Chains A and B, each alone.
Chain A
Amino acid sequence: MYKIKEGMLSWLLHKITGVAIVAYLIIHIWSMAKMSKGPEAFNAVIETYKTTLFRAGEVLLLGAILFHGLNGFRLILAEFTAWASKRHKLLIYLTYVLAVVLFIIGGWFMWRAEG
């Protein structure tokens, strides 16, 4: 099998996280439409948001958004500046490290928060 190097791994992750975020976007807009129908409907939706499954999903979503965003930022840099293209491996690792660090901090806060 052809080796999956840094750039290719990032590309695959970018696509996977992208699809995940779009899936969330659909759910989010769908539930938002429900919420706009009054306090009762709103509260019902909020209750589902508070389930463990949904909260775990939201924490994962944070990870997806962090990676997709940071990697997207790296890609823009790489496509628009020679400086970044020359250092693509360094920047990719930086993306990973930043994404993981922010994910741990943000995820911890999100999980701890009372919904």
Chain B
Amino acid sequence: MVHKFDAIVVGAGGAGLRCALELSQHNFNVAVLSKLYPVRSHTGAAQGGVGAALGNEEPDSPEWHFFDTVKGSDYLGDQDAIEIMCEDAIETVLELEHFGLPFSRTPDGKIAQRPFGGHTSNFGEAPVKRACYAADRTGHMILHTLYEQCVKNQVRFFNEFYVLDLIVEGETCQGVIAYDLATGEVNVFQAKATMLATGGHGRAFSITSNAHTYTGDGMAICFRRGIPMEDMEFVQFHPTGMRKLGILVSEAARGEGGILRNREDLDNIGTGKDGFMAAIAPTIKDLAPRDVVSRAMYNEIKEGRGIAGTGDPGSDYLYLDLVHLGADTINTQLPDISHFARTYLAVEPIKEPIPVQPTTHYAMGGIPTDVEGRVLWDAKNKPVPGLYAAGEVACVSVHGANRLGTNSLVDIIVFGRRGGKDMVRYLQETEFSRMTGEPDAFIRGEIDRLQNGGGKEQVVDIRTNMQKVMMVECGVYRTKESLTKARDAIMELRQRYQQVSVADKRACFNTELMEAIELGFLLDSAWTIAESALIRNESRGAHSREDFPERDDENWLKHTFIHYVEDGKVKFDYKPVTITKFQPKPRVY
């Protein structure tokens, strides 16, 4: 079946819906395609808040937000983009409030704000309340509010349509190919402009806070079409995932005053006294950025100060102590987190600390775009006409080597909106062009191979292997050896993937087929992550090389662009970091 729309938005998370909303406000014929139902998207899992220098609680300025983000990114973020984001954040958040988003309130009826990791006043002096929040379900409220507004504006939704390929003619994007999960039909969606907002690739790792559906679809689709991936080596590990499960305990928990404790610190539980982070980041302690805290936790565990004391970062854990906050704060400010702790760990956070360990959380890298959300063909900023990307799938880059807490939500709403606005401009000056050939032939072939290929490999074996090798060899700390091991293992798994076939032959909701396709996408992500990590011989932000422990601004103050050449072969390209206001400095907190 062939559908024709002015614009297609792929993904119904925060970035996708914000973009769709912008387009619908200008009366364009827009369709949102999602492999899930709209409010199932992973934006809904974001808990703590969305950063914007409203200054409702105490003095704040977008420039401080700008500085914190640059510093948080370990100076790899492009400063022109970050400046735009921090300034746009304010009006974008207010706009969300005008769409009805139920932010928590200050006593004088304004949007309430709380401190968050890495957010400071006056260029690093002290923690500042900048994260606008709605209890601990800010992402959930953003997702629902945007969906509600899209319903109001009668945006057309194609639910459970899984986008598998781009239609690229010449160098222009003309739409997408989508697999209708309910019928098994391959659909062609022709559009003048396409927005990819499909999220990250956390499921390439075994312990992750990400949804099962977070499988790097958008990145792999572009990568296969010859679009490079930017900064793929930067994968954020969130310090406080629930032990074994990886479910996130939001940074808001530390924003409200939660403290990390090791086994030497057990007596201080409930007292509110400083924990081990005070020695590592004397100014902002437990509210240091995530890469810093994750590494500190890793080291604590490795040196035998984990709660179990085994020294094994794979299984040992630490405590997140909220007890001193009291039942009131815990129940009103952190209700969802408390609920998770009770449900999954049988831990009552009012009375006892929560066992936590670092969990794979966020992809800083992704599809390269400019500040208007336009996807780029190369490191020289040549745009792909008609193709946009925003949110975690994209790399603007505003997060550089490490994303600050709350900036993911800022990213999706700011760049979803900016992308939408630029699409409006683009749509006004562009006509439909003619599609040639059979754009869906490739995907039909792929589906046929997976369903009828007769190979003997199982999806689950390959997936489990990949997740394990990525977690162990490409995790919080990396070395040349571990990364080579990871890369080689992934290459072998990619070979085996060619022999995958699924037992399920049905057309209707063939979830086995869907998982096989997702695995293919994940293997692309894993491959690009390992290759990019191997080439970057320095430690910066979330990328920590034990064999290159220092940041190397002389050689590596640049973005990596990884291009697909042929299977097993990639080529690198580099783009200098845009520096406008803040010269790189050592990063201490």
Are chains A and B touching in the complex at the 8 Å CB cutoff?
A: no
